[in-house]
Amino acid sequence: MTDAKNTIAQGKAILGIEFGSTRIKAVLIDPKDSRPIAQGSHEWENQLVDGLWTYSIQAIWNGLQNCYASLRHDVLSQYGTEIESLGAIGISAMMHGYMPFDANGEILVPFRTWRNTNTAASAAELSALFNFNMPMRWSLSHLYQAILNGEDHVKDIKFLTTLAGYIHWKLTGEKVLGIGDASGMMPIDPATKDYSQKMVDAFDNLIAPKGFPWKLRDIMPKVLSAGEDAGKLTAEGAARLDVSGHLKAGIPLCPPEGDAGTGMTATNAVKQRTGNVSAGTSSFSMIVLEKDLSRPYEMIDIVTTPDGSPVAMVHCNNCTSDINAWVGIFKEYQQLLGIPVNMGDIYTNLFNIALQGDSDCGGLISYNYISGEPITGLQEGRPMFLRNSTDKFTLANFMRANLYAAVGALKIGNDILFGQEGVKVDRITGHGGYFKTKGVGQKMLAAALGSPISVMETAGEGGAWGIALLASFLVNNPDGFNLADFLDKVIFGGEKGVEVAPTAEDIEGFNRWIEAYKACIPVEKCAVELKK
């Protein structure tokens, strides 16, 4: 405790902040061993406004300031000292989306998040133009959809960025973005570690008849790799972050990154033949590739690690939100009985009972589509539970079906990678709320992917810890390691985590379940059409 207090008092602690879908989290780490020494958080939720998912600018800044205030309170209560300075800061957030700003730095339309699926037309046209899969949630798809829609604000754009890029800009004055986050705006050329110039030119030529006063590079953030200088906290930025006024300017910031990059970092999965699965509100798998895929796939995004290596990403819009809704029903029932509610116990008990379910869930099928799911062709979602009268409708099978559903779409995408493309991986690490109950999420995902899944104790720290590690890489790398070696040798010391391998029965059961899941997708589509 004395060491941690001195580290904070001397301004050497390193801060990572990540904006997740439902929680903003801050982690303060010790620069020597990277262990968390203080934390803060703020809960928030997106809003559906005029048919589009968004967070207001006010909610973004209130959330950041409340999260930092929570961290500051934790430091004061534990160590009795103020945070006056820091060794470095890193900002991370949900990738993708659309945040266009005018010449005065004001946002032109409400922030359109990754969750929106209104960009199918633009994504399809850009995919054909580039011969590269352009997902609906990518920033360039949002920009081109706004152009196709004839939205008047497009001509006034001076800067287009992501949520992490926006916050970093306002804290430092620098219009930059980490390469991993930038690779979710538009395609990256791995040779130059910058936006693909061929695709930039193709886009500029495509929209030239519109006569906009800008070209793509005029409005996009500069791309930086992990370890590069991304600016320093300004006095205005310090006041925005710490409303108490104690935090001083001049603190270096690492390149702002997306949640995919911080997940790779937090699980030591930036080397070739490693991968990770992040499973929370959304889910995505990241497999670092040894070679290019044979062709583009609509279900697979090509992004990068925070140091620019190509990664095959399978992204699903939905994961644990529907499980949370069902758990809420069990909470209400417990309250009805007059039993004290401990949400942690409810989750643990319900997750563990799933282990007693049949490997194919007794025939029960669940769709967790709170929002649309591009991998299965749904632009909108309707949560749904299906069963025959002859299926084994037990609590164990019910919970197992919901846990399977959380990674069902993820399996469909990864079957292409491991089956059709023959991608090889030595280690897949899981992190996120899906894995919080020991062994359960691991077992379900292992069955889905047909591969052992590791979980590290440190992975529970999540993306805020991951971006703190990237900030540490900026200022605490005297040996000049590349990012992969820095993580492997300095941070993790070779730790691989606790591994759970699937049984043949589990794999066979999940495969039977996923075939029924795919066969019933027309029912889900019908529900979208009929229930408005």
d(CA 208, CA 199): 14
Residue 20 placed within a domain: no
- Section 39-64 average pLDDT: 96
pLDDT in tens, 325-350: 999 999 999 999 999 989 999 999 99
Structure tokens of 531? 């229930």
Q: 460 pLDDT exceeds 70? A: no
Q: 457 pLDDT exceeds 80? A: no
Residue 461 confidence class, pLDDT cut points 50, 70, 90: low
Q: Which domain holds residue 389?
A: 335-404+504-530
pLDDT in tens, 415-455: 999 999 999 998 899 988 899 899 999 999 999 999 999 99
Residue 463 placed within a domain: no
Residue 204 placed within a domain: no
pLDDT in tens, 53-87: 999 999 999 999 999 999 999 999 999 999 999 99
Predicted local distance difference test score (pLDDT) of residue 379 = 85
Return the sign of the alpha-carbon dihedral for residues 408, 53, 261, 88.
Answer: negative
3-state secondary structure at position 387: coil
- Section 362-373 average pLDDT: 96
Structure tokens of 481? 């390691």
CB 160 within 8 A of CB 139: yes
Predicted local distance difference test score (pLDDT) of residue 211 = 97
Residue 461 placed within a domain: no
d(CA 1, CA 7): 10
Residue 398 placed within a domain: yes
How many domains does the chain contain in total? 1
- Section 282-304 average pLDDT: 93
Residue 112 placed within a domain: no
- Section 497-526 average pLDDT: 96
Residue 117 confidence class, pLDDT cut points 50, 70, 90: confident
Q: 462 pLDDT exceeds 90? A: no
Give the least confident one: 197-206, 448-457, 518-527. 448-457
- The pTM score is 0.86
Predicted local distance difference test score (pLDDT) of residue 1 = 67
Q: 459 pLDDT exceeds 60? A: no
End-to-end CA distance of the chain: 56
Residue 266 placed within a domain: no
Residue 353 placed within a domain: yes
